[in-house]
Structure 1
Amino acid sequence: MVDGPAPIPTLPTPRDRILSLDVLRGVAVMAILLANLPGFALPDPAYSNPVAWGGQRPIDIIVWFLTETFVNGRMRGLFSLLFGASTLLVIERADAAGGNGASFHLRRMAVLFVLGMVHLTFIWTGDILAHYALVGIVALAFVGLTPRALCWNAAAFAGLSMALGGLECLGLFAAAARDTPQMAALWDSYQSAFGTPPPAALAPEIAAMRGPWSTATAFRLEHNGNPLLDLFQIGPDTLSAMLLGMAAFKSGFLTGQWSRVAYRRWVLFGLGVSIGAYAVMALGVAASGYDVRAVTVVQLLLNVPFRLVGTLGYAALILLLMRPDGVWTTRIAAAGRMAFTNYIATSIMMTAIFYGHGLGQFAHWGRAELYLLAPLMWGLMLFWSKPWLARVGQGPLERIWRLASRGLAGKSG
């Protein structure tokens, strides 16, 4: 519902693209690097726990606190939000062209799953695409709902995610005694994910990532999570954001049709609540001495609702700042039109710096130094995306995705 007389202006873009979605997607693919840098450069538990590796200096802790407070969770949430919106858009346009939108969506998800598994296995273990493909299949069941019904379902799945996270936290607290081999193994598994395992426990990952590509790939094959298991463990959380994205698209929120007053309200509410909550949670983790229980409770339980409202707050802020005829807007929109390609290109660039098939810098840098790479990668995205699109019209991986999805249609027909 529009509140006030002045919606955010938009301009037509090539092939009837929606400028606001491209800009949001561009910001998301750039900003998610801030969250992912520890995943590229440091052992796995350091992603959530700064003192696990590379975070012992005050500057490292400050950087961790800032990324926790302002970035983590919400950029992935923005990606999920936009994935839900894009699902609706693709289905609607396929139906309008006389095709079967649902069938086309399922083919796209099949191709995305394959491409995501290639990324997960051969490039970087932090892939999210295969997971999105599986959750996207489930999301198809909700595309016909009204915005209000989508919001209620999003809230329900967020609640389910919190319930599952709460059960995991209870299991971790019960395992703290480590009075049986099973409880000790469970405790160690959480230490490996969210705690501070001893350096010897991290040595195999460090050696593999510094080694040749074949060694790193073998390590990923052995230690990668199961996407089907992730569908049940973190799928409800991802689905809640996708459904919220569908609601935001249907209501006009993501397409700039709300008034500036309404967007300002969402900025004040969404960012005020989420930034404050994330700051308190980060301070709580620090006060606990980065105890695995505190980190796990925050990551699996407490941050779920604040991530959703913070994601909407950031989306509203981006839409308010967007200037349809601005140089930065067109550059960021171009990066967003090539978000798939830029996402994979980021993985290739970062692993070339940190893995053994490149410069072999894995686990050599402190956390703070990692963020010097973000402006460089952003510059590359902004520099190459617009001229590439002007010449070719579509990103290389976006084209592969589209052609492969159409190819499946030909085989099924």
Structure 2
Amino acid sequence: MEDHQNSTPNAIGLCLLPSELMQNIFLSLVLPEIIRLKLVSKSFSHLISDHTFVRECNSRSTSTAWLFVYKKRWLRDAVLHAFTDRSNRWFRIPITELLKPIHFHCEDLYFLTASGNVFLFASNTVRLVVAVNLVTMTVKKIPPSPLGPRGTSSWRRSGMKLVTGPPGSDHFRFMFAELVDNRPVLFVYNSVTDKWNTMEAQEARGRHVDERLFLNVVNGPRESVVVACTPECDAQPVIVRPRLEGGGVGEGEMRVGFSLGHVTDRLHVYGDGYMMIVKSESGRKKRVLKGIEMWGVGEEGREWEYISRVPSELMKKIERGYGVMMGCLEERNGVIRASLVSNWEGLWDIVWISFDKSRKEWAWIPLPDCNMKNYNLSGISFSSGITLP
């Protein structure tokens, strides 16, 4: 994880401080900065590797939310950019060297999703998914699923989920849901066994579906088909079919996940059992973002229940014109985080908003410029729980 500033003079000065004071200073930093410091000197590495420091650092890092954006011109320039509300700048994470052992025939990759230290990338030509651990600097090929090799267009963000753990390990489960013979089926890859497991979902039949993971199979204008499962995948997954009554923020054409500004009135973004409805209006040459509502799957999974609308004062801050827009959405520990990425004449713009369900409060995280002009956006994802080994 790069930082272009010269840290040598500061490192010499820090080494003269008591170790306890140095630890307190390091703990005020975010994890990419700590990982970089570990490479500066042996004394820093020894201090950061101390069990007490690792435990305290990981305790703080577990609750830190990150937004990752993958942009590239060519595979040799592949860069992951990371931002957290604990900092005021983007962190640049080159991944080209990490991926060299995997032969992609000079092909560009797509960033699927992330959780903890694990990041998934997909290749369209060789139809391969790889897991990259950015802390241990390791790469793992994931064998083809029972459905066979898949191109990047087959992976739907709201239909897949990556779960890492237990804490302190590099284990993970990657799951996705698809229709097979018109029946929703859950596919689960376990990194421990290096194998896939297939589980056919059953109708929920009025059962409560709280404390589960939600993977969208079908997203329609009025009804969705969603598979709900436990994070451990140790119980039969169930099917819920939430319906949307009333149409949300407005009627008109609807797109799911990706909006072409000149034809779309509403953009629906799904994730973790929630749905964000984005309302736009026509401008002179482009569309303008005008309203956002958040909905969630009801307790019995029969309907989308209204949660909240972004206040008008906040909408004025994030209102912007665009030609193309897409979004991602996640829920963690009672906070729903959403990002909207828009493009107008080659210029990219990113919005990060969140809704705290217990406090019933919206928040806007201002983002500095990510310098994405003339780059391709090849994936965006939230993540939490990055930890030191």
- The interval holding the TM-score normalised by the smaller chain is under 0.3
Larger RCO (CA within 8 A; separation ≥ 6): 1
For normalisation by structure 1, the TM-score amounts to: 0.23
Higher helix share: 1
